[in-house]
């Protein structure tokens, strides 16, 4: 028995381009047919049919503007479908957490706002009084409940908003990205509450960009793409499908759209002396393979999102991209020539489509383009070439992008004595320096940077690196040992 039944629903919005779409335009429109035509159609949803059964938790994912929020608003009857219809169980109470704390009035106290807000959601006086206590308990704002909420912090504001929404006792709960606004603690609480709803047999429609939240809550995932229902199925499949969509788009953006048609005819031996393979110390094949096997030994999973910092000419990418799920490989490189050589020569040789991965080209470790948290980051033979400030910047950027359980492996030449600044001759014959490339650094220096940004760093006992570099692992302090 469905509780929500969307039947061939389409929704069209009219975008008014004429800024003065007011009386003047309407008036002129009486005389000039043309004056009216400054309206553009936008189909937010196209012929979507979706049945949601009682007690189901369904994740609605899709890119920005794919129609997720519009669908929620149609279920909540805030918008009316342009065609088709959305049916819901008669008398079902629908609570839409589309925005937290909307309708709050800053001058009113917390208590007054609770009563007003609950009334907006259609509760009668007796019902409001019945839930009032639990709202206050849940929000943890007993001491501030008689203070005008203009004096609340934004966190308190959200807590109160969520406390009201959580206590409305809805039959169908519509959640739109609301976890995104709070801190980790708030998100935990929200997910806990939502799980309790599920245990009580409520129905949940959950819009999110965060795969981890979707996995934590949902049993079914629908992917919307440009207003159409592109996927409807289990969580793993849905998230993979969505990743694929993202990968396609990222590839299109990064300029590697066209698959390279002619694999190089050059043999491996000759290629090993090619400029791009000789960069950063040679041993192209060995270092790439080493990096891949190293991660495999540390339980790399194909569902992980891997960030390859300093991916160079894609020595490791050729292995990782084949192994990982589509779109889960992220390569960052500062040297355009190297990256282009890798994309033009190495990927076709390995028979890999560039669209299976994402590539970011910059030398500032700018990672904002990555839409989700990284499970495993790796920087192989990168710190060797970087002055210490760049090393620090790299660590900070990557740590910020890590999932709470994520780890960051990096190789470097260790300087065992922090007070010694002399060049060191390595067993492989390479000489490393403290003030020019190839660099060596004391572990303590890196440790200090990590500590400063709330991360921990440990040495990894591994002596198999082809160039004789040491390995460290950096993780976010609070979540150590999760992986």
Partner 1 sequence: MSVVADDRSAASAPDCQLPQRPAWLLSIVLDGALGMSAYLASYWLRFQGDRLETFLPGVWSTMPIVVTGQLAALVVARAYASRPRIDWLGRVIAGVVGGTVAASVLLGVTVGFEGISRSAFVADAVLLSIAALGWRGAWVLRARALARAGARLVLGDDLVDRSSEMTTLRAVVASLYSYRELLKNLVLKDLKLKYRGSVFGFLWSLLNPLLMIVVYTIAFTFILRIRTEGFVFYMMLGILSWTFFSNSAAMSTGAIIDNAGLLKSVLFPRAILPIGTVLFNFAQYLLTVSVFLPAMMIWYQVPFAVPMLLFPAFLGLQVIFTVGIALILASWTAFFRDVRHLLEVALSALFWATPIVYELRQVPEQFRLLILLSPMSPFVVAYQQVFFYREWPEATVWLMASAYAVGAFVAGVLLFLAVEDRFTEQL
What token pair was written down for 66?
């794919």
Q: Evaluate whether 178 touches 100 at the Cβ level (below 8 Å).
A: yes
CB of 172 to partner 1, least distance (A): 11
The residue among 204 and 229 lying less far from partner 1, judged by its C-beta, is: 229
Q: Of 7 and 264, which has the nearer Cβ to partner 1? A: 7
Nearer to partner 1, 2 or 371 (CB): 2
Residue 295: count other Cβ atoms within 10 Å of its Cβ. 23
CB of 86 to partner 1, least distance (A): 7
Q: Compute the distance between CA of residue 217 and CA of residue 228 in angstroms, rounded to an integer.
A: 23
Q: Which is nearer to partner 1, 148 or 371 (CB)?
A: 148
Residue among 23 and 425 whose Cβ is closer to partner 1:
23
Query: Of 78, 95, 59, 14, nearest to 224 (Cα)?
Result: 59
User: Smaller CB distance to partner 1: residue 21 or 248?
Assistant: 21
- Rank residues 121 and 477 by Cβ distance to partner 1 and give the closer one: 121
Q: How far is the CB of 50 from partner 1 (least distance, A)?
A: 7
The minimum distance between CB 324 and partner 1, in angstroms, equals 24
CB neighbours of residue 447 within 10 Å:
17
CB 439 within 8 A of CB 455: no
Rounded to the nearest whole angstrom, what is the least distance from the CB of residue 240 to partner 1 in the complex?
A: 14
Q: Which is nearer to partner 1, 90 or 299 (CB)?
A: 90
Spatial contact of 456 and 477, defined as CB atoms under 8 Å apart: yes
- Residues linked to residue 309 through DSSP beta bridges, in sequence order: 332
* 169 dihedral zone (left: phi>0; alpha: psi -120 to 50; beta): left
- Sign for the CA dihedral angle at 439, 444, 449, 455 comes to positive
Query: 288 in helix, strand or coil?
Result: helix
Q: Is there a contact between 221 and 214 (Cβ–Cβ < 8 Å)?
A: yes
Minimum separation from the CB atom of position 232 to partner 1 (A): 5
CB of 229 to partner 1, least distance (A): 6
**Coil, helix or strand for 465?**
coil
Whole-number Å distance between alpha carbons of 164 and 138: 9
Closer to partner 1 by CB, 14 or 266: give it.
Answer: 14
Do residues 57 and 218 make contact, with C-beta atoms less than 8 angstroms apart?
A: yes
Query: Which chain residues interact with partner 1 by CB under 8 A?
Result: 1-2, 5, 8, 10, 13-14, 22-24, 26, 46-50, 73-74, 76-90, 94, 96, 98-99, 102-103, 105, 107-108, 112, 115-116, 119-125, 128, 228-233
CB of 251 to partner 1, least distance (A): 24
Tokens for 96? 């839409």
Cis ω for the linkage preceding 108 (within 30 of 0) = no
Closest by CA position to 20, among listed 32, 38, 45: 38
Give the nearest distance from C-beta 92 to partner 1 in angstroms: 9
Q: What is the Cα–Cα distance from 37 to 46, expressed in whole angstroms? A: 23
126 CB-near residues (< 8 Å, 6+ apart)? none
In whole angstroms, the minimum distance from the beta carbon of 135 to partner 1 comes to 15
- In the complex with partner 1, which residue's Cβ is closer, 49 or 428? 49
Neighbours of 125 (CB within 10 A): 10
Q: Are 254 and 332 in contact (CB under 8 A)?
A: no
| Nearest-approach distance from CB 203 to partner 1, in angstroms | 13
- Residue 33: burial class (beta carbons within 10 Å; 0-12, 13-18, 19+): exposed
Identify which of residues 24 and 253 has a Cβ nearer to partner 1 in the complex.
24
Give me the least distance between CB of 453 and partner 1, in Å please: 37
Burial 372-395 (b: 16+ CB within 10 A, else e): bbbbbbbbbbbbbbbeeebbbebb
Taking the least distance from each CB to partner 1, the nearer of 101 and 288 is 101
- From the list 145, 214, 213, 200, the residue with the least C-alpha distance to 167 is 200
């Amino acid at each position: 028995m469905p509780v929500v039944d969307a039947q061939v629903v389409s929704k069209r919005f009219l975008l008014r381009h004429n800024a003065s779409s007011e009386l003047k335009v309407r008036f002129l429109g009486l005389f000039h047919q043309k004056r009216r035509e400054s309206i553009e159609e936008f189909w937010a949803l196209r012929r979507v049919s979706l049945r949601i059964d009682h007690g189901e938790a369904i994740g609605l994912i899709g890119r920005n503007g794919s129609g997720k929020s519009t669908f929620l608003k149609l279920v909540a009857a805030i918008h009316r479908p342009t065609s088709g219809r959305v049916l819901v169980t008669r008398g079902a109470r629908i609570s839409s957490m589309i925005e937290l704390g909307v309708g709050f009035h800053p001058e009113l106290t917390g208590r007054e706002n609770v009563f007003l807000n609950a009334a907006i959601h259609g509760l009668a006086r007796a019902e409001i009084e019945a839930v009032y206590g639990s709202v206050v308990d849940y929000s943890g704002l007993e001491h501030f409940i008689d203070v005008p909420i203009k004096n609340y912090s934004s966190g308190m504001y959200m807590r109160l908003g969520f406390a009201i929404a959580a206590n409305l006792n809805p039959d169908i709960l519509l959640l739109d990205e609301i976890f995104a606004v709070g801190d980790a603690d708030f998100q935990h609480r929200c997910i806990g509450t939502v799980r309790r709803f599920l245990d009580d047999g409520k129905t949940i429609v959950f819009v999110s960009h965060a795969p981890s939240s979707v996995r934590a809550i949902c049993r079914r995932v629908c992917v919307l793409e440009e207003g159409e229902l592109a996927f409807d199925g289990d969580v793993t499949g849905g998230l993979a499908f969505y990743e694929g969509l993202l990968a396609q788009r990222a590839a299109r953006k990064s300029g590697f759209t066209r698959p390279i048609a002619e694999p190089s005819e050059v043999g491996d031996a000759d290629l090993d002396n090619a400029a791009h393979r000789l960069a950063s110390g040679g041993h192209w094949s060995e270092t790439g393979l080493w990096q891949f096997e190293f991660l495999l030994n540390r339980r790399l999973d194909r569902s992980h999102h891997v960030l390859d910092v300093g991916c160079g000419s894609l020595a490791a990418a050729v292995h990782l991209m084949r192994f990982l799920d589509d779109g889960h490989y992220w390569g960052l490189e500062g040297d355009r020539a190297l990256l282009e050589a890798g994309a033009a020569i190495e990927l076709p040789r390995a028979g890999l489509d560039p669209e299976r991965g994402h590539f970011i080209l910059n030398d500032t470790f700018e990672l904002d383009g990555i839409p989700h948290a990284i499970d495993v980051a790796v920087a192989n033979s990168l710190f060797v070439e970087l002055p210490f400030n760049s090393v620090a910047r790299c660590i900070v950027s990557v740590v910020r992008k890590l999932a709470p359980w994520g780890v960051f492996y990096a190789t470097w030449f260790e300087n065992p004595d922090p007070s010694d600044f002399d060049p060191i001759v390595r067993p492989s014959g390479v000489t490393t320096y403290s003030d020019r490339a190839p660099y060596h650094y004391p572990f303590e220096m890196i440790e200090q940077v990590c500590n400063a940004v709330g991360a921990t760093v440990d040495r990894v006992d591994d002596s198999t690196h082809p160039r004789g570099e040491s390995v460290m692992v950096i993780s976010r302090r609070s979540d150590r040992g999760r992986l």
